[in-house]
Amino acid sequence: MAIWEGTRPLLVEAQALVDQSAFSNPRRVAVGFEQNRLAMLLAVLSRHGGLQVADQDVYINAVGGIRVDETSSDLAVLMAVVSSFRNRALPRDLICFGEVGLSGEIRPVPNGQERLREAAKHGFTRGLVPKGNYPKQPIKGMELKAVSQLSDALSAVGDWL
């Protein structure tokens, strides 16, 4: 994912592990992300993405000990959860960002162009971005998919899995 740290974009890997819970109350563990936001995102995924993880333990991690406080990580976190749940790896050259709302809408985030240019510099060739962050001019070497709803994002990622 591409987050904004101070005055520059920062590329961070979001990891997720989804596993059948051995307990009646599944665990939700967030390292580097806000715990309550994870719970909300999982509810949105269930309601608007049709993916039932209520009986699953869900662990997410921001690689490298980074603390992610901005909502631009929402879409990346959900895509990592879906990847783990389906046991299918996301493409290594995929960058994604976007805020996910309660009704499943994918909202644009500030500095979208700069985030994409930074990702392209580091070899990312695919991007999943909010429709409002889709660049007016193409970014050389990147295939971008613009999404406005969580269901669109799940379909787009399904094409790459």
Q: What is the pLDDT of residues 42-88, one digit of tens each?
A: 999 999 999 999 999 999 999 999 999 999 999 999 999 999 999 99
As assigned by CATH, the class of the 2-160 domain is alpha beta
**Angle of helix 150-160 relative to helix 35-49, nearest 10 degrees?**
80
Tokens read off for 27: 């665990």
The radius of gyration computed from the CA coordinates of the chain, to the nearest angstrom, equals 15
| Per-residue confidence band for 24, with pLDDT thresholds at 50, 70 and 90 | confident
For the segment 84-117, what is each residue's pLDDT rounded down to a tens digit? 999 999 999 999 999 999 999 999 999 999 999 9
What is the average pLDDT value for the chain, to the nearest integer?
Answer: 95
Q: Which residue has the tokens 């992610």?
A: 68
Distance, C-alpha 97 to centroid of its chain? 6
